[in-house]
Amino acid sequence: GENVEQHPSTLSVQEGDSAVIKCTYSDSASNYFPWYKQELGKRPQLIIDIRSNVGEKKDQRIAVTLNKTAKHFSLHITETQPEDSAVYFCAASIGTLTFGKGTMLLVSP
Amino acid sequence: GAVVSQHPSWVICKSGTSVKIECRSLDFQATTMFWYRQFPKQSLMLMATSNEGSKATYEQGVEKDKFLINHASLTLSTLTVTSAHPEDSSFYICSADYGLAGATDTQYFGPGTRLTVL
């Protein structure tokens, strides 16, 4: 089955800095890669996603890049704000979602 | 749009009792819903895929007789934890597939149910 590795497990940045979270997947058949943000005790919220026919997608301060050859995708957050602090999960889908272990992002004022 | 509700948000029960959790897609129809389990500071682990009108598909290691899933309509799936034990205590989250029928697409999550078994 699919295996998703996510790094780093924790990431601390200063407000205004950029944050990058990286994921790799094992199954080349995966064709959908969403990113979710989860605050403590709350539901995961979809923040951005990308499909295998696209290499990059951007939505305001958030961008995702996909390298199908390397089976690697990344989340980029620019101009981070304290409210960006949360756990971020990447996932890969070949019919069902397989999640990475998550990255706890802490943005300090 | 794409709102998923879950009820109850939390439940405390005695060991040996059964607990039913409901997952509803409020403004769209979902042929497929998913049930996840999340332990503290861990990722979401898929338990089963719930398909409207057919039997659920369980992930390896998940006891189908213990975690009963019923997807009776395009907007409702239920998870019943039977004969619950303290080790079943966890955060249970459902999601609904917002994509095309028969093809998993974007999933929207419910708010989760925190189950505590005493």
Three-state SS string over chain B comes to CCCEEEECCEEEECCCCCEEEEEEECCCCCCEEEEEEECCCCCEEEEEEEECCCCCEECCCCCCCCEEEEEEECCEEEEEECCCCHHHCEEEEEEEECCCCCCCCCEEECCCEEEEEC
- Band of pLDDT at residue B104, cut at 50, 70 and 90: low
Q: What is the pLDDT of residue B17?
A: 97
pLDDT beyond 90 at B87: yes
Pick the residue with more confidence: B29 or A106? Answer: A106
- Band of pLDDT at residue B105, cut at 50, 70 and 90: low
Chain A stretch 5-24, residues whose beta carbon is closer than 8 A to a beta carbon of chain B: none
Q: Out of A60-64, B15-19, B100-104, pick the least confident.
A: B100-104
Mean pLDDT of all residues in B85-113:
85
**Between β-strands B19-25 and B32-38, what pairing exists: parallel, antiparallel or unpaired?**
unpaired
- Band of pLDDT at residue B1, cut at 50, 70 and 90: low
Asked if A35 reaches chain B (Cβ–Cβ under 8 Å), the answer is no
> Are A46 and B107 within 8 A, CB to CB?
yes
> Are A95 and B104 within 8 A, CB to CB?
yes
Q: What is the pLDDT of residue A1?
A: 84
Dihedral angle computed from the Cα positions of residues B110, A82, A73 and B41, in that order, rounded to the nearest 10 degrees: -50
- The b-or-e profile of B93-118 (16+ CB within 10 A means b, else e) is bbbbbbbeeeebeebbbbebbbbebe
Q: What is the pLDDT of residue B72?
A: 83
> Are A97 and B34 within 8 A, CB to CB?
yes
Which residues in chain A touch residue B112, judged by CB atoms under 8 angstroms apart? 41-43
State how far the Cα of B74 lies from the Cα of B41, in Å rounded to an integer.
Answer: 32
State how far the Cα of B72 lies from the Cα of B51, in Å rounded to an integer.
Answer: 9
Q: For chain A, which residues score pLDDT lower than 50? A: none
Mean pLDDT of all residues in B43-53:
91
> Are A43 and B42 within 8 A, CB to CB?
no
Structure tokens at A98: 């397989």
How far does the CA of residue A6 sit from the closest CA of chain B (Å)?
11
Which residues in chain A touch residue B37, judged by CB atoms under 8 angstroms apart? none
> Are B93 and A44 within 8 A, CB to CB?
yes
How far does the CA of residue A15 sit from the closest CA of chain B (Å)?
24
Q: What is the pLDDT of residue B100?
A: 58
Which residues in chain A touch residue B49, judged by CB atoms under 8 angstroms apart? 96
pLDDT beyond 70 at B86: yes
Q: What is the pLDDT of residue A18?
A: 98
